[in-house]
Amino acid sequence: MKNTLIAPSVLAADFANLQRDVEMINNSAADWFHIDVMDGHFVPNISYGMPVIEAIKKHATKPLDVHLMIEKPERYIETFAKIGADIITVHYESTIHLHRTLRQIKAAGCKAGVVLNLSTPVSVLEDILSECYMILIMSINPGFGGQKFEEITYTKVSKLKEMITKQGLDTLIEIDGGVTDKNAADLVKAGADVLVAGSFVFNAQDPVATIENLKKITAV
């Protein structure tokens, strides 16, 4: 039976009650905290900065999966590692020297991953896969929570899984955007290993039960 990892997106949490929501994730069946960092340039929105991540780390008992939606992420890798990132993913579209940036993340003591926007084909990863702990496939356009899941994601996941298997790697596939109990099982069948859920978890009447249910329906 597969243990699909669930990473609630803190972007959808209640920032007036952040410690409460962090404790909720700690006490739930969730595996990671998903932390979205936005700079207002690479994506048209700004999220939270380093002091907030530092505060989350202080209370979190699970790994921080930090998704950098920022231009030239290589400028800040060491800082994010220092404040508590366990995994750092950077957008393929955001850095010119991707290979160097992945090596930089690993040298800083974190697991390294690449994120692909909706319009970027998985084929661009062929020569870089062996450097990646994880590939994050965006199933919405990055920058805003609560968007509708895009169906093309299933095909991209299947193609990527095929590529990973062909190269004999164990690179994880993560999905971010519009994940719910309606598409979670199908995403795992297509090859996903990690599911990010934001609004679906935090807008639920019982977030802990919602996370538990996602774990159950993805144990295929």
| Positions marked catalytic | 36, 176
Backbone φ/ψ region at 143: left (φ over 0), alpha (ψ -120 to 50), beta? left
Q: Are strands 134-138 and 111-116 parallel, antiparallel or unpaired?
A: parallel
Residues 103 and 127 sit within 8 Å (Cβ to Cβ): no
Residues 154 and 190 sit within 8 Å (Cβ to Cβ): yes
Instruction: Give the CA distances from residue 106 to residues 39, 48, 125, 137, 143, in Å, rounded to whole numbers and listed in that order.
Output: 23, 24, 18, 20, 26
